[in-house]
Amino acid sequence: KLPVTVLSRTQRFDLRRIPTELLQSHFGWVCGEEGVEAEEEALHMIAAAAEGSVRDGLSILDQAIAHADLGGEGKVTAERVRDMLGLADKSAQRRLLGTILDGDAKALLAGIDEQYALGVEPLALLRGLMDLVHRITVAQIGGGEPDAPTSEERAALADWAGRLTAGQLHRLWQLLLKGYDEVRQAPDPLVSAQMALLRVLHAADLPDPGRLAKKLEHLAETGVQAAPAASGETASPAPSAALDWKGIVERVDQAGHLRVAQLMRDWIRVETLEDGKLAYALTDELSEDPSPELRDVLLKVTGRRWEVIKLDVGGAPSLRELEEIAHAEAEAKMRAHPLVEATFAAFPDAELADGDNTPASGDRAWSKRA
């Protein structure tokens, strides 16, 4: 750390980044002054690589001019700059994105291998696709003619901006961003890039998140309603006994005996529930026999004396156990649904979250889904 006496005598300048368009114009002027011919696309690549820094951009431009002189032509071309920076050809980026949107896995792998053979790093490939998706999104929001250096690129951006929805573009961005992080940490970047882009491609088989959420919500509702009937088949007593017991527990809870109500809900397995008689077993041993306390509370709530008998074994599942069984059956039914199976196949790290604790398939190709 610098001493305060030194800091007090220094001046701080927060330099703003220069826009890419302004840098490109400036580099074009520099080339004109130096008598160097340069393609507009090449200057755009250099300006983008400079990331808002005039000094860094001039350094890259100087290298590009040196490469042009070594080639004997003396012209700064987009191809030479692309090779020098290890960037993917923009037309190749558009072809790759097109194969992803069309669901053509074979063409996608061939395109990745082709770019890798030309010296394009997998990270640069992912970053180029992310930049392309971002520019499509900006073109869709802004309307009008997209900002692109060539008419071919402007036409492609306008076409995708009109065909893809905002949700699809955001989903594409998230999948590419996750893939970029994986490639950056992977021991074999090429293999990781292939798998990441294949995951993006196969995600086209899934419905839109909003549509999937509605279907899962409906499935959860129907599954939970059907679960108590299924769990009743495994219980030894009649289902009506469990239902009567639940009503008694609710009356105890409403009367203010919260601790006893919790005990009855979680620990009591009812064996016999008759007029004034309760025979039960515990889900687990307690330090004290709860029978006297149960007898007193039932007398206060119902106004009659109860015969309360504690058994060593037996009894139907407790109310809490019934809820857990119903929840497990509903989750199993939900996981067996084709939509959910497809979701977990595309996103292996995904988790099935309880809807109460979380904030609120069509055609194969991305570009053909509504």
Which backbone phi and psi does 280 adopt, to 5 degrees?
-150, 165
The answer to whether position 14 is within a domain reads: no
pLDDT of residue 238: 40
Query: How are strands ordered across the β-sheet holding 307-310?
Result: 268-274, 277-282, 307-310
Q: Of 316, 333, 355, which residue sits at a domain end? A: 316
Q: Of 38, 56, 85, which residue sits at a domain end? A: 85
Together in a domain, 67 and 106: no
pLDDT of residue 346: 72
pLDDT of residue 301: 87
Instruction: Name which residue leads in pLDDT, 52 or 352.
Output: 52
Together in a domain, 309 and 213: no
Mean pLDDT of 199-225: 63
Residue 330: CB atoms within 10 Å: 20
> Distance between CA 317 and CA 234 in Å, rounded?
9
Tell me: pLDDT of 60 over 60. yes
Residue 257: CB atoms within 10 Å: 19
Residue 144: CB atoms within 10 Å: 7
> Distance between CA 265 and CA 269 in Å, rounded?
9
Tell me: pLDDT of 313 over 60. yes
The answer to whether position 55 is within a domain reads: yes
Tell me: pLDDT of 332 over 60. yes
Together in a domain, 27 and 94: no
Mean pLDDT of 113-120: 87
> Distance between CA 110 and CA 203 in Å, rounded?
19
Tell me: pLDDT of 202 over 80. yes
Together in a domain, 40 and 99: no
Mean pLDDT of 238-265: 78
The answer to whether position 8 is within a domain reads: no
pLDDT of residue 50: 82
Condensed to tens digits (0 to 9), the pLDDT of residues 86-100 reads 666 678 888 899 999
Together in a domain, 76 and 176: no
Together in a domain, 302 and 266: yes
The answer to whether position 4 is within a domain reads: no
Instruction: Name which residue leads in pLDDT, 85 or 181.
Output: 181
pLDDT of residue 237: 42
The answer to whether position 2 is within a domain reads: no
pLDDT of residue 180: 93
Average pLDDT, the chain: 79
Instruction: Name which residue leads in pLDDT, 329 or 148.
Output: 329
Q: 214 is in which domain, residue-wise?
A: 209-225+323-368
pLDDT of residue 181: 93
Angle between helices 189-202 and 122-142 (to 10 degrees): 30
Q: Of 299, 316, 333, which residue sits at a domain end? A: 316
Together in a domain, 306 and 327: no
Mean pLDDT of 12-22: 82
pLDDT of residue 215: 61
For residue 68, with 0-12 CB atoms within 10 Å meaning exposed, 13-18 middle and 19 or more buried, which class applies? buried
Band (289; pLDDT cuts 50, 70, 90) = confident
Band (360; pLDDT cuts 50, 70, 90) = very low
Together in a domain, 287 and 266: yes
Band (234; pLDDT cuts 50, 70, 90) = very low
Tell me: pLDDT of 239 over 50. no
The answer to whether position 230 is within a domain reads: no
> Distance between CA 25 and CA 43 in Å, rounded?
8
Together in a domain, 130 and 260: no
pLDDT of residue 231: 45
Contact between 356 and 350 under an 8 Å Cβ cutoff? The reply is no
Band (182; pLDDT cuts 50, 70, 90) = very high
* Number of domains the chain contains: 4
Band (369; pLDDT cuts 50, 70, 90) = very low
The answer to whether position 7 is within a domain reads: no
Lowest mean pLDDT among 14-23, 49-58, 323-332, 340-349: 340-349
Mean pLDDT of 153-157: 83
pLDDT of residue 160: 87
Instruction: Name which residue leads in pLDDT, 156 or 226.
Output: 156
Which CATH number does the domain housing residue 299 bear?
A: 3.30.300.180
Percent of the chain topping pLDDT 90? 13
The answer to whether position 81 is within a domain reads: yes
pLDDT of residue 363: 45
Together in a domain, 44 and 127: no
pLDDT of residue 366: 61
Total residues belonging to the chain: 370
Together in a domain, 179 and 240: no
Together in a domain, 272 and 338: no
pLDDT of residue 370: 39
